[in-house]
Amino acid sequence: MTTSFKLLKAILSIALFFSTVLWLIFLIILAGILLGIDGNFGLERVAEDLDLTSKTAKLALVTYVLGAYAAIIYIINTLRRLVKSLDSGSLFTKFQCAGFNLVGQLIIWLVILSAVAEFIMKLIFASRLKVETSFPDFWLFLALGAFFIVLGQVFEKARLMREENELTV
């Protein structure tokens, strides 16, 4: 069991590292845009549908990506702390219940806000009204968020049952 936890911690650490590096890169790009440096900074690969000729479009896109990556970094870090907590041997703690619930809520909010932000940016910067909710992106991550919330509720019920058993014995 500890081998799988070690692997999961390693995967989450790698994901946290790359997410942080990408966040720092977008922070540098934001600084470049604010300083008035011309260029697309490779942003056309991030948003293929948007017209990135204006400074406002670039600022909106980079600010959106920075916020999204900040949320992703927080989610990954919370998951790392949850895995460490589970690996320590203590199960059904208040932290684990709240952590799973928080991760689920953050994923759901991130997916919804991301879809709304993408819709608004396409409406403003691409001058077209287009609604997309593809299965792999939107619905799968909503289901993943709901799964974490359910897992948090199961942990909460198990914690209460464990406390009740400890009081009975």
pLDDT tens column, 82-97: 999 999 888 899 999 9
More confident residue, 2 or 9: 9
Query: Region 62-75: what's the mean pLDDT?
Result: 94
The CA dihedral of 14, 20, 22, 28, to the nearest 10 degrees, is -150
Contact between residue 52 and residue 43 where contact means Cβ atoms under 8 Å apart: yes
- 33 CB neighbour count, 10 Å cutoff: 20
Question: pLDDT band for position 100 (50/70/90)?
Answer: very high
pLDDT tens column, 18-31: 999 999 999 998 88
Smallest CA-to-CA distance from 138 within 110, 111, 107 is with 111
Straight-line distance from the first to the last Cα atom of the chain, in angstroms, rounded to the nearest whole number: 29
pLDDT tens column, 111-128: 999 888 888 888 887 766
Tokens of 49: 């549908």
- 46 CB neighbour count, 10 Å cutoff: 16
